[in-house]
Amino acid sequence: MSSPTNSNTLPPMDLSRWRSVPTLLMLIGGALAAFGAFHDYRQFSYSWLLAFMFFLSLGLGGLILVILHHLFDAAWSVATRRICENLACLLPVMAFMFIPIALNVLFAHHDNIIYAWVQKLRDGEMDHALASKQPLFTIKGFFIVSIICFVVWWVLSNRLRYWSLKQDQTGSVECTRMMRRYAAVGVFLFALTLTFGAIMWMKSLEHEWFSTMYGVYYFAGSVWITIYTVYTLTLILKRQGPLREVATEKTFYYIGSLMFAFTVFYAYITFFQYFIIWNANVPEETFWFIQREAGNWFYVSLVIIFGHFFLPFLMLLRIDVKHKAWIMVALGVWAWLMHFVDMSFNIMPVLHTKGYHLDWMDLACAAFIGGVLSKVFLKNFNAHAPFPQQDPRIAEAMDVYVPADEYVQAATAKGLKPKSGGSH
Amino acid sequence: MAATPNIYGILAEFETPADAMHAAEKVRDTGFRKWDVFTPYPVHGMDKAMGLKNSKVGWFSFIGGVTGYTSGMVMIWWMNAVDYPIPIGGKPMFSPFGAFPPCYELTILLGAFGALFGMLFMNRLPRLHHPLLKHRRFALATHDRYFIVIETTDPKYSENETRKLLESVGSKRIELVEE
C-alpha cells in the first residue's frame, strides 16, 4: 500500500515552475481588473463582489476550523491547524479587498451602484422592505457592520495565531488556555459577524428579500470549500515534506469525512431554504428564486444541485476514496468551481437578469484577489513552522505513544513545573 | 469410552493487544480464512492486521436508502397525483420538493434497516449458541485477555501445524474448543 496519503517514501514533486503563478495572477488579473473598472464599471463592481465573497469563504472557513480545533480539544486536526491559521490570517487582507466595495457604496451613482437600496436611500424612496430594515440598512449601518466584522476577524485570527506561535516556542499550558478562551468567545462572534457580513454584502443585493437561513447558507458553502482546500494543501505539504510526519493516513480520512459531512450539510441548508420559501409561497420571498429560474439561471441551479451536492456526495460515500489522492484533488478543484458558480448564482442574477454569463472581469478580479492571497499565504506559511510544534495532542496526532511520566521528565528537564489540572 | 467430541477450532490466548496483533498478522500471512480475533475492546489497526476488507454492510444501507427514497417518491406521486388528486392552493398535484421530507425520512429508515439487517445477515445472527461460549477461559475475552480462534473447517487447518504456528507467535496457552 503506497497511496500518497500514507506513504512517506514518494519523492517531493518539482513545483518550482509554479512559483511565479501567484505574482502573474496578481499582475495580469490586477491590470485587467483595473482596465475593466474603466471599461465597464458596473460589471467590474459585481465581478469584484463575486471574487470578494468567494475568497472571503476561505478565510472564514479557516478561522472556524481553528476555533473548532480548540473548542473540541481535537487531535485529528493538529496537522492542519497551522494551515487553517494561515487561511484565517487572510481575513485582514480581505479588509483591503473590501475597499472597492466601500468606495462603490460611498460614491457610485444610479446604475453603477451595487446595492439598489443605497440609491433608494439617497433618493428618499423608502419602500416597505427598506423601512422595516432600518437602521441596519443605512450607509452608516452598512459601514458599522463591515468595520465590526473585519475588526472581529482581525482580532480573532491574529490572537489565535499569536498564541499558537508562542506555543511553538514555550509549549506552556497558558497558550492552550488562551487559545481556548479566544475560541470560546470567538465562536459566537464568528457566527454573528459571518451572518451580518453575508446579509449586508450579498443578501442586501435584493433588499426586499429575507431568509433566516442565509447566514448559515453562506457558512455551509464557506466551510465546504475550505475543507476541500485544506485536504489538497495538506496532501501537497505531506508529499513535499513539511507535514510528512504529522499528517497520517488517519488525518486524511478525518478531513475526508468532514468534507462529506459539509457536502450533506450544505445540501440540507440549501434545500431547506428553498423548501420553506416554496412551501410558504409568499411573493415577498419567492421572487428571489423566480429570478433565478430566468433564462439559463435555471440550468445553473441544476448544476448546483448535481455538481455541488450529488457528485461529491456519491464520490465521497466510499471509505477508500478518501485516500485516493487524485480523486480528492480533482474534487478540490471541482469544489472551487462549484463555489464560484454558487456565489455567481447568489450575486449575478441582479446584474445579468436574463441568464448566466461568465464575464472576463469575473476571472480577472478572482485572479487578482487569488494571487494576492496566495502570496500572503505562502509568505506566512514560510515564516513559521508548518504545524503546531508543541500542541498538547501532537503525539496523539502522530500516532506515537508517550507514557505520562516521560512527559513529566521532559517538562522537568526544561525547567517547567507540570501543574496539576493541566491542559487536558 | 465416550465418542470423541467434534472439535470446533483451536483457541490461542494472548496477554497483550500487541501480541495478539502480531500473531494476527502471522495468521493472516499464512493464509487462513476461517478465523477470528476476540478482544475486550476495539483494537485500532486490527482490521489491517487481520487483512479484513471494508465491510459490505454499507451496500445494504445504500440499497435500503435508495429503495426508501424512490418508493417514497413513487408512493406520494401515486397517491396525490394519480389515485386521489386533491387540488390545494393551486399547487401542482405532485412536486418533488413537497414530497422530499417524507422521502428523506424513508431513506434514513430503510437505510438504517439495511445497515441493521445487513449486519445481522453478514454475521449470521441471531443464533442461539456458539461453541466458544461453552469454553471456560473464553469469558476472559470480555475482561483482560486476547484470543485468536482458528476453525477446524479452514482448509489450512491441521492440529499440529496450527498449534505450532500459534506457539511460535507467542501464545502461552493453546486449547482445543469442542463443538
**A5-61 pLDDT, tens digit each:** 776 678 888 888 888 999 999 999 999 999 999 999 999 999 999 999 999 999 999
Please report the residues numbered 45 through 104 in chain B whose beta carbons come closer than 8 angstroms to any beta carbon of chain A.
54, 58, 62, 89, 91, 97-98, 100-101
Q: Which of A310, A231, A239 is nearest to A7 (CA)?
A: A239
Q: Please tell me the predicted confidence (pLDDT) of residue A421.
A: 43
Instruction: With beta carbons under 8 A apart, name residues in chain B contacting A319.
Output: 54, 58
State how far the Cα of A409 lies from the Cα of A402, in Å rounded to an integer: 11
Cβ neighbours around A176 below 10 Å, total: 23
For the cut 50, the answer to whether the pLDDT of residue A1 exceeds it is no
By the 8 A CB rule, do A357 and A350 touch?
no
For the cut 50, the answer to whether the pLDDT of residue A370 exceeds it is yes
**A71-83 pLDDT, tens digit each:** 999 999 999 999 9
Is the ipTM reported for this complex over the cut 0.85?
A: no
For the cut 90, the answer to whether the pLDDT of residue B4 exceeds it is no
* pLDDT band at residue B1 using 50, 70 and 90 as cut-offs: very low
Q: Please tell me the predicted confidence (pLDDT) of residue A2.
A: 46
Cell of B33: 480464512
Query: Å from A260 to nearest chain B CA?
Result: 15
Q: What are the residues facing B146 on neighbouring strands?
A: B14
Mutation target for B interface from A260, A264, A278: give the one with most B CBs within 10 A.
A278
Sign of CA dihedral B79, B81, B85, B90: positive
Q: Please tell me the predicted confidence (pLDDT) of residue A407.
A: 67
* DSSP letter string, A81-108: HHHHHHHHTTHHHHHHHTHHHHHHHHH-
Q: Please tell me the predicted confidence (pLDDT) of residue A95.
A: 96
Q: Nearest chain B Cα to A278, which residue? A: B97
Domain with CATH 3.30.70 in chain B: 7-53+128-178
B8 by DSSP, 3-state: which?
strand
Mutation target for B interface from A268, A271, A301, A305: give the one with most B CBs within 10 A.
A271
Q: Which of A200, A232, A236, A237 is nearest to A218 (CA)?
A: A200
Q: Which of A145, A339, A384, A125 is nearest to A242 (CA)?
A: A384
Query: Å from B58 to nearest chain A CA?
Result: 9
**B119-159 pLDDT, tens digit each:** 999 998 999 889 999 888 999 999 999 999 999 999 989 88
The more confidently predicted of residues A189 and A3 is A189
Q: Please tell me the predicted confidence (pLDDT) of residue A424.
A: 43
For the cut 60, the answer to whether the pLDDT of residue A405 exceeds it is yes
Q: DSSP letter at A349?
A: G
Contact between chains at B62 and A317 (C-beta distance less than 8 A): yes
**A228-240 pLDDT, tens digit each:** 999 999 999 999 8
**A90-141 pLDDT, tens digit each:** 999 999 999 999 999 999 888 889 999 999 999 988 889 999 998 899 999 9
Which pairs with CB-CB distance under 8 Å and at least 24 residues apart come from A136-140? A136/A200, A137/A204, A137/A207, A139/A105, A139/A106
State how far the Cα of A389 lies from the Cα of A165, in Å rounded to an integer: 9
Q: DSSP letter at A212?
A: T
What does each C-alpha distance from A266 to A213, A360, B109 come to in angstroms?
A: 11, 28, 22
Query: Å from B35 to nearest chain A CA?
Result: 24
Q: Please tell me the predicted confidence (pLDDT) of residue A96.
A: 96
Cα A385 to its chain centre, rounded Å, is 22
State how far the Cα of A319 lies from the Cα of B59, in Å rounded to an integer: 12
A281 contacts chain B (CB < 8 A): yes
For the cut 70, the answer to whether the pLDDT of residue A417 exceeds it is no
Contact between chains at A281 and B89 (C-beta distance less than 8 A): yes
* CATH for the stretch B7-53+128-178: 3.30.70
Q: Please tell me the predicted confidence (pLDDT) of residue A197.
A: 96
Burial of residue A72 (number of CB atoms within 10 Å: 0-12, 13-18, 19+): exposed
Strands (E), A198-330: none
State how far the Cα of A99 lies from the Cα of A167, in Å rounded to an integer: 34
By the 8 A CB rule, do B151 and B34 touch?
yes
**A318-365 pLDDT, tens digit each:** 888 999 999 999 999 999 999 999 999 999 999 999 999 899 999 999
Cβ neighbours around A230 below 10 Å, total: 25
Q: Please tell me the predicted confidence (pLDDT) of residue B2.
A: 55
Mean pLDDT of chain A: 91
Contact between chains at A278 and B97 (C-beta distance less than 8 A): yes
* pLDDT band at residue A422 using 50, 70 and 90 as cut-offs: very low
**A261-287 pLDDT, tens digit each:** 999 999 999 999 999 999 888 999 999
CA-based angle A18:A25:A152, to the nearest 5? 105
Averaged pLDDT, A163-190: 95
Of A275, A317, A320, the CB nearest to B100: A275
State how far the Cα of A119 lies from the Cα of B2, in Å rounded to an integer: 102
What does each C-alpha distance from B74 to A272, B82, B99 come to in angstroms?
A: 21, 10, 10
Q: Angle between the A249-280 and A214-240 helix axes, to the nearest 10 degrees?
A: 160
State how far the Cα of A369 lies from the Cα of A389, in Å rounded to an integer: 31
Strands B7-14 and B146-151 turn out to be: antiparallel
State how far the Cα of B21 lies from the Cα of B39, in Å rounded to an integer: 10
Instruction: With beta carbons under 8 A apart, name residues in chain B contacting A275.
Output: 97, 100-101
Contact between chains at B97 and A317 (C-beta distance less than 8 A): no
Q: Please tell me the predicted confidence (pLDDT) of residue A376.
A: 96
* pLDDT band at residue A152 using 50, 70 and 90 as cut-offs: very high
* pLDDT band at residue A4 using 50, 70 and 90 as cut-offs: low
Residue A220, φ and ψ in degrees, nearest 5:
-60, -45
Cell of A184: 470560546
% residues pLDDT > 90 (chain B) = 69
Q: Longest Cα pair distance anywhere in chain A, in angstroms?
A: 73
Averaged pLDDT, B75-91: 89
Query: Å from A298 to nearest chain B CA?
Result: 16
